[in-house]
Amino acid sequence: MGKPTDLVQGTLDLLILKTISLEPKHGWAIAKRIQEISSDVLQVQQGSLYPALHRLEQQGWIKGHLADTETGRQAKFYSLTGSGRKQLKKELANWERLSSAVNLVAHLV
């Protein structure tokens, strides 16, 4: 298996928002879920994840609260806000537009 692919510029917000749209998660669990769902193709490094979470929280798209993890340790769990759900829809639409365009170019005959 090759090395994990770097995230396409601008996709991290989409991945985070989509991951926590299903249920609140703490940072490590967000990164782990993205890795699992992508069959280890996408790996989000802490140096990218935590600044992104902070930025999304400042923008009002997510909110964090302290709670116990499954191991009994306290962590900050993140969930979507109303404006975060709206942003997720925008991010998904942008991704669909971009990936469709890339597919058109990639499949030129």
Residue-level pLDDT at 103: 93
In a domain, residue 4? The reply is no
Would 38 be classed as within a structural domain?
yes
24-77 per-position pLDDT tens digit: 999 999 999 999 999 999 999 999 999 999 999 999 999 999 999 989 999 999
Strand (E) positions, the chain? 25-26, 62-68, 74-80
User: Is residue 48 a part of any domain in this protein?
Assistant: yes
Q: Residue 76: give the domain boundaries.
A: 11-106
How many distinct structural domains can be found in the chain? 1
The pTM of this model reads 0.87
Paired tokens of 2: 């090759």
% helix / strand / coil in the chain, to the nearest 5? Answer: 55, 15, 30
Is 97 a domain residue? yes
The string of pLDDT tens digits covering residues 63-100 is 999 999 989 999 999 999 999 999 999 999 999 999 99
Query: Is residue 72, in this structure, part of any structural domain at all?
Result: yes
Q: Is residue 22 part of a domain?
A: yes
Does residue 85 fall inside a structural domain?
A: yes
CATH of the domain at 72: 1.10.10.10
